[in-house]
Each structure stands twice: as structure tokens, then as C-alpha cells.
Amino acid sequence: MHPNIEKVLIDEKTLKTRIAEMAAEISKDYEGEELLVIGLLKGASYFMMELTQHLSVPTQIDFLKVSSYGSGTSTSGKVDIQFDTSRNLAGKNVLIVDDVVDSGLTLKAVRELFRTRNCKSIRLAAMLDKKERRLVKMVPDYYGFVIPDEFVVGFGLDYNEDYRTLPYVGILKRSVYEK
């Protein structure tokens, strides 16, 4: 375990098992359909790659870079789309993939943006769900784990670009980010 991690919240095996289960659920829901999976950079990249490896339906991938955090530890409340998809989404089944649903503002903004693009369907998948932090009504269609209101890193989640490559989700020691 990394010395700046207070506790491993979800170990690698548990993460990968649950993500495979999510992929089975998604594959069942989209049976006979094609799916465009759009990951929100950078945090969702690890989760998205693990998820798409287990999908059994024809799948294409793309990315969107969205931020509501900046370099802090809590949402700014403003969602900034920094890099948009260039794909025509009309008539597509779109699955938006994010690392964690926190305030709900980011996924709400992306879903509203995509609703203007005539998608056949729009669903949301998140590796982690922090329900107690929600500022807007936002329920992911698929989620891996409901977690407590702790600052977590690993498996794509970062603090100032560090800890993203940890193979587990861990609680970051407060002394690291409360300087």
C-alpha cells in the first residue's frame, strides 16, 4: 500500500469482479444493439478500459474531457467541457462513463449536452457513487460501488495528477491534501 493511503477501500480483485458484472448487465441491456461508450477524461480511463474489455456487444469508444474540480478536492460547481467528441451522436446508443458521481453536476451537464444531439439512448455508468455528496438529482444507470464521503484515489482517480495508477481505490490521508 502507498504510504499516503490511509486505507484501501476497494481492492483490485473486487474492483475488476464488479466491473465485469457491470459489463454483463450493460451487454444484456444492449443485446442486439451497437454501443458508443464515451469516457470522461482523465479519471474514467482505467474504469472504461476495464469495462469495455468485458462488453459482449459491438462497441466503439470515444472520450470527452470535462472538469468541475480544477486542482482542488471539491467541485467548483461550474462544469467546463474542455474537449468534446467530434462524432455524430444522432441515432447512437451512448453510454457515458465516469469514475465517480459526486455532486452529479458533471454527468447532468454532459447528459443535457448529449440530449441536444439526437442520441437514440443515453445511459450513465460510474465506477463509484457518493450519494451523500449529490447536489442535483442524478442516478447512474449502472454503478460499481456506493462509497462514503471520503477523498479517494487510485484506479484512475487522482489528486493533482498523482495516485491515478494505483491498482485499487484508497482513501487519501488528509495530511496530503489539507496542507
Task: Categorize the per-residue pLDDT at 106 as very low, low, confident or very high, splitting at 50, 70 and 90.
Answer: confident
Domains of the chain, residue spans = 12-147
User: Which residues make Cβ contacts (< 8 Å) with residue 109, sequence separation at least 6?
Assistant: 66, 79, 81
Residue 21 is predicted with a pLDDT of 98
Which of 82 and 25 is assigned the larger pLDDT?
A: 25
Check whether 100 has a pLDDT greater than 80. yes
- Section 167-172 average pLDDT: 98
- Phi and psi dihedrals of 132, rounded to 5? -70, -10
Is 80 a residue of the active site? no
Check whether 116 has a pLDDT greater than 60. yes
- Section 101-114 average pLDDT: 88
From the candidates 80, 102, 129, 162, give the one annotated as an active-site residue.
102
Residue 77 is predicted with a pLDDT of 61
Residue 163 is predicted with a pLDDT of 97
Residue 69 is predicted with a pLDDT of 56
Check: CATH 3.40.50.2020 for 12-147? Answer: yes
Kindly report, residue by residue over 68-82, the tens digit of the pLDDT.
Answer: 655 555 555 667 777
Kindly report each contact of residues 117-121 with a partner whose C-beta sits within 8 Å and lies 24 or more positions away, as own/partner.
Answer: 117/88, 117/89, 117/90, 118/89, 118/90, 118/91, 119/89, 119/90, 119/91, 119/92, 119/93, 119/94, 120/91, 120/92, 120/93, 120/94, 121/93, 121/94
Residue-averaged pLDDT of the chain: 91
Residue 134 is predicted with a pLDDT of 84
